[in-house]
Chains A and B, each alone.
Chain A
Amino acid sequence: MIEIRLHGRGGQGAVTASRIIAAAAFEDGLYSQAIPMYGTERRGAPLTAYVRIDNVRVRERELVHTPDYSICFDEFISMNQTIANSMKPGGIVLANSKFKPEELPLAGDIKIACVDATGIAIKHLGRPITNTAILGAFCKLCPEVSLKGVEKAIYKYFPGRVGDMNVAAARASYEQVTDLITAKNKEPPKQVEEIVSGGYGALKDVSGWRVFEPVIDEEKCIGCKTCWIYCPEAALEWTANNKPAMISRACKGCGVCANECPVKAIEMVRVQVKK
Chain B
Amino acid sequence: MVDYEVMVGNKACAVACKLARVNVAAAFPITPQTSITEYLSELYASGEMPGFEFVNCEGELPAQVIVNNAALVGARAFTCTAGPGLQYMHHPMASTAGGRCPLVMAVVHRGIKSMQPDHSDLMSQQWTGWIHLYVENAQEILDTIIMGYKIGEDARVRLPVAVGYDGYVLSYTAEPVEIPPQEMVDKFLPPYKPPRSLIYDDPEASIGRGGGFRSGDPNYAWMMHNEGALNAEEVIKEVFAEWAKLTGRKYGTGMVEEYKTEGADVVITAMGTVAGSAAAAIDKLWKDGKKVGLVKIRSFLPFPRADFQRIAKNVQAIGVFDRSLQPGMGGPSYREIKNTLYDSNVHPVVAGFVGGLSGKEVTVKNFVDLGEKTLEYAKAKKADAHPIWV
* A and B are partners in one complex rather than unrelated chains: yes
Closest A residue to B168 by CB, please name it: A38
CA distance A38 to B29 in the complex (A): 18
CA distance A100 to B136 in the complex (A): 43
User: Contact flags (1/0) for B152-179 with A, using CB distance below 8 Å?
Assistant: 0000000000000000111011111000
B84 part of interface (Cβ distance < 8 Å): no
Interface centre among A15, A32, A57, A60 (most CB of B within 10 A): A60
B residues in contact with A60, CB < 8 Å: 276-277, 279-280, 364
A residues in contact with B4, CB < 8 Å: 26
B305 CB to nearest chain A CB (Å): 27
User: Contact flags (1/0) for B340-365 with A, using CB distance below 8 Å?
Assistant: 00000000000000000000011110
Closest A residue to B276 by CB, please name it: A59
Interfacial residues of chain A within 242-264, with CB under 8 A of chain B in the complex: none
CB pair A32–B276 under 8 Å, yes or no, is: no
Number of inter-chain CB pairs below 8 Å: 66
Interfacial residues of chain B within 1-48, with CB under 8 A of chain A in the complex: 4, 6, 8
CB pair B6–A62 under 8 Å, yes or no, is: no
Interfacial residues of chain B within 235-289, with CB under 8 A of chain A in the complex: 273-274, 276-277, 279-280
Interfacial residues of chain A within 1-57, with CB under 8 A of chain B in the complex: 15, 18-19, 22-23, 26, 31-38, 57
Partner of B364, one of A34, A36, A62: A62
CB pair B280–A33 under 8 Å, yes or no, is: no
A residues in contact with B136, CB < 8 Å: 59, 61
A38 CB to nearest chain B CB (Å): 7
Closest B residue to A62 by CB, please name it: B363
Closest A residue to B277 by CB, please name it: A60
CB pair A62–B361 under 8 Å, yes or no, is: yes
CB pair A36–B6 under 8 Å, yes or no, is: no
Interfacial residues of chain A within 41-100, with CB under 8 A of chain B in the complex: 57-63, 65
Count of interface residues, chain B, beta-carbon cutoff 8 Å: 23
CA distance A34 to B6 in the complex (A): 9
CB pair B277–A63 under 8 Å, yes or no, is: no
CB pair A18–B174 under 8 Å, yes or no, is: yes
Interface centre among B170, B173, B362 (most CB of A within 10 A): B173
B72 CB to nearest chain A CB (Å): 38
CB pair A33–B174 under 8 Å, yes or no, is: yes
B209 CB to nearest chain A CB (Å): 41
CB pair A19–B6 under 8 Å, yes or no, is: yes
CB pair B173–A36 under 8 Å, yes or no, is: yes
A residues in contact with B280, CB < 8 Å: 59-60
Q: Given the known A-B contacts A58-B175, A61-B273, are A35 and B279 also in contact in the complex, defined by CB atoms under 8 Å?
A: no
CA distance A124 to B277 in the complex (A): 41
CB pair A61–B173 under 8 Å, yes or no, is: yes
CB pair A33–B277 under 8 Å, yes or no, is: no
CB pair A33–B279 under 8 Å, yes or no, is: no
CB pair A61–B276 under 8 Å, yes or no, is: yes
CB pair A59–B175 under 8 Å, yes or no, is: no
A residues in contact with B279, CB < 8 Å: 59-60
A65 CB to nearest chain B CB (Å): 8
CA distance A15 to B173 in the complex (A): 10
CB pair A26–B277 under 8 Å, yes or no, is: no
CA distance A159 to B174 in the complex (A): 19
Interfacial residues of chain B within 123-145, with CB under 8 A of chain A in the complex: 136-137
User: Contact flags (1/0) for B355-378 with A, using CB distance below 8 Å?
Assistant: 000000111100000000000000
Interfacial residues of chain A within 152-193, with CB under 8 A of chain B in the complex: 153, 156
B368 CB to nearest chain A CB (Å): 12
CB pair A32–B176 under 8 Å, yes or no, is: yes
B283 CB to nearest chain A CB (Å): 9
B residues in contact with A63, CB < 8 Å: 361
B68 CB to nearest chain A CB (Å): 32
Closest B residue to A34 by CB, please name it: B174
Interface centre among B176, B273, B362, B363 (most CB of A within 10 A): B176
CA distance A214 to B182 in the complex (A): 55
CA distance A80 to B318 in the complex (A): 46
Which residues of B are interface residues toward A (Cβ below 8 A)? 4, 6, 8, 136-137, 168-170, 172-176, 273-274, 276-277, 279-280, 361-364
Which residues of A are interface residues toward B (Cβ below 8 A)? 15, 18-19, 22-23, 26, 31-38, 57-63, 65, 153, 156
Top 10 A-B residue pairs of the complex, sorted by shortest distance between their CB atoms: A59-B276, A23-B6, A60-B280, A34-B174, A19-B174, A62-B363, A61-B276, A35-B173, A33-B175, A61-B273
User: Can you give 24 contacting A-B residue pairs, CB < 8 Å?
Assistant: A18-B174, A22-B176, A23-B6, A23-B174, A26-B4, A32-B6, A34-B6, A34-B175, A37-B168, A57-B176, A58-B175, A59-B136, A59-B277, A59-B279, A59-B280, A60-B276, A60-B277, A61-B136, A61-B273, A62-B277, A62-B364, A65-B363, A153-B6, A156-B6
Q: Other CB < 8 Å A-B pairs besides A59-B279, A60-B276, 8 of them?
A: A23-B6, A31-B176, A33-B175, A35-B173, A59-B276, A60-B364, A62-B361, A65-B363
